[in-house]
C-alpha cells in the first residue's frame, strides 16, 4: 500500500474568503514505512498573508512573492499523489484549500481515498487534545524542531503519529493484531473520507516492526 502524508500552510483559515496555499509538503509511505520520495514547495499566493497565519508559519509576503505560483507546480503535485491514498491531519482544511487552487485552474477536485488522523484520534481519545503537538507528546515523539508550522516537518511528525494510531495501543510501540482494525469511524464532513482503519497485513507488520524499534530508541533513549 502506497500512501502520501500531506500538509499545507496557507494565508488564512478559509479558502472561501480568498485565502491561498503558501506551502505544500508530502511524504510517501510504502507499507507504512517512509520512503525517500517527497514533494515540497513554497508558493506565491498572489495576496498578502494574514497576521494570524504569519504567527503560525512565519512566512513573509516578501519571501513568498519570490516563489512559484500554484499553476506552475500543479501538474507535478497531481502526478505525485496520483493513485495514492492521502493521510492528512484535519483533512477538511487542507482539501478545501487544494480544491480551491484546482478550481481556479479549472481542474477537477481531489477525489482520493483520505484518512483523516484528526478524526481517528478523536474516536480513540474522546475529550482529549488531539492536535499534532498533543499526539506527539502522547506517543513520545520528538517535535522540538516544530517551533512554527512547516509542511515538511509536520508531515514527518504526522507519519509517526499515524503509525502509532494504527498500532491501537498507547503510548507504547508494541504491535498488536488482536484488536479490530476494521471498526467503523463516523466521519461527518463534506470531504469523502476513507471510513475504515486499514488492518495491516502480516507482511506489512513485519516490514515496519524494525522501524518502530528504531523509533523507540530514538525517542526514548537519545
Active site residue 97: no
**Strand-pair category, 2-10 with 114-116:** unpaired
Q: Residue 54 and residue 60: Cα distance in Å, rounded? A: 7
Residue 39: φ, ψ to 5°: -130, 130
Contacts (Cβ under 8 Å, ≥6 apart) of 188:
none
Q: Residue 111 and residue 83: Cα distance in Å, rounded? A: 10
Contacts (Cβ under 8 Å, ≥6 apart) of 182:
196, 197, 199
Given 97, 149, 208, 220, the catalytic residue: 149
Return the active site residues.
149
Amino acid at each position: 500500500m502506497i500512501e502520501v502524508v500531506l500538509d499545507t500552510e496557507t494565508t488564512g483559515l478559509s479558502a472561501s474568503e480568498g485565502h491561498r496555499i503558501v506551502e505544500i509538503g508530502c511524504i510517501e509511505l510504502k507499507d507504512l514505512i517512509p520512503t525517500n520520495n517527497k514533494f515540497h514547495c513554497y508558493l506565491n499566493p498572489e495576496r498578502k498573508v494574514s497576521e494570524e497565519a504569519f504567527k503560525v508559519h512565519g512566512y513573509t509576503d516578501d519571501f513568498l512573492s519570490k516563489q512559484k505560483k500554484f499553476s506552475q507546480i500543479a501538474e507535478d503535485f497531481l502526478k505525485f499523489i496520483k493513485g495514492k491514498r492521502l493521510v492528512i491531519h484535519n483533512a477538511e482544511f487542507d482539501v478545501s484549500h487544494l480544491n480551491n487552487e484546482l478550481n481556479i485552474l479549472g481542474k477537477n477536485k481531489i477525489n482520493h481515498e483520505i484518512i483523516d488522523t484528526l478524526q481517528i484520534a478523536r474516536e480513540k481519545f474522546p475529550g482529549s487534545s488531539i492536535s499534532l503537538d498533543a499526539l506527539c507528546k502522547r506517543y513520545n515523539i520528538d517535535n522540538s524542531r516544530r517551533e512554527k508550522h512547516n509542511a515538511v516537518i509536520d508531515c514527518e511528525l504526522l507519519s509517526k503519529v499515524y503509525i502509532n494510531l494504527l498500532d491501537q495501543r498507547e503510548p507504547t510501540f508494541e504491535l498488536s493484531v488482536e484488536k479490530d482494525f476494521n471498526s467503523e469511524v463516523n466521519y461527518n464532513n463534506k470531504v469523502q473520507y476513507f471510513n475504515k482503519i486499514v488492518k495491516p497485513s502480516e507482511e506489512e507488520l513485519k516490514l515496519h516492526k524494525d522501524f518502530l524499534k528504531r523509533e523507540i530508541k530514538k525517542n526514548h533513549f537519545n
